[in-house]
A = this chain, B = another copy of it.
Amino acid sequence: MAPRTGRRPGDSGTREAILAAARESFGTAGFAGTTIRGVAGAAGVDPALVHHYFGSKQQLFAACLELPVDPEVLLPQLLAGGPDDVGQRVVRTFVGVWDAVPGQGPMLALLRSAVSDPRAADSLRDFLTGVVLGPLAAAAAPDRADLRAALMASQMVGLAVTRYVVHLEPVASASAGELASAIGPTLQRYLTGEL
């Protein structure tokens, strides 16, 4: 007889069912069109259970992308230590997260889908502005936050494509620290500089 683990039988199946319903919803309805209630309904569970397992909609999205960090923990970390050094922290953190996932996993898969599938492009857009960069801009520089988030996204998406897809040297082999030095000031200007 297996030892008790404290988890009810079927927990893992429930979690997977919620994730599958969430991926389906984010893929077809986009981030904005997805609700915790709708995902719960599609998975046949109570909405409270979705919150219990995953937290917010942003955190559910991050779970679907198998992000190795929680965006709601990441944001205060990026802002900690004052606004003047956020640019380098953003670059160092993103590159660290991407490098940590073999093949860059579902994040690169979303990027690949986005260039051929308009619905995936909607999801990527919602992710870029909704999950980290948008809240970061809103918190650090409410003035023109939409433009600041979009400009930061343009640089970070381009960094992901050149480093992980096109393997353009020396960006492809540079360390996170080297990239933070070179590209951090760009993020910093987009976030807090004069535009």
Q: Which residues of A pack against B, CB within 8 Å?
A: 111-112, 114-116, 121, 124-125, 128-129, 146-147, 150-151, 153-159, 161-163, 165-171, 181-183, 185-186, 189-190, 195
Specify how many copies of this chain sit in the oligomer.
2
Chain B residues lying within 8 Å of A170, measured Cβ to Cβ, are 146-147, 150
Q: A115-B112, A147-B182 are in contact. Are A162 and B169 (CB under 8 A)?
A: no
Whether B128 lies near A166 (C-beta < 8 A) is yes
Whether A181 lies near B162 (C-beta < 8 A) is no
Chain B residues lying within 8 Å of A116, measured Cβ to Cβ, are 112, 116
Chain B residues lying within 8 Å of A124, measured Cβ to Cβ, are 166
Chain B residues lying within 8 Å of A146, measured Cβ to Cβ, are 169-170
Whether A125 lies near B183 (C-beta < 8 A) is no
Excluding A150-B162, A151-B171, 5 further A-B contacts by CB distance (< 8 Å) are A114-B161, A146-B170, A155-B155, A155-B158, A158-B159
Q: A151-B183, A181-B195, A183-B151 are in contact. Are A115 and B168 (CB under 8 A)?
A: no
* Complex Cα spacing A111 to B195, Å: 28
Whether A125 lies near B182 (C-beta < 8 A) is no
Residue of B nearest to A156 (CB): B158
- Give 21 CB contacts A-B under 8 Å: A112-B115, A114-B165, A114-B166, A115-B115, A116-B116, A124-B166, A128-B166, A128-B168, A147-B171, A147-B182, A150-B169, A153-B168, A154-B159, A154-B168, A155-B158, A155-B186, A156-B158, A161-B161, A181-B195, A182-B190, A186-B189
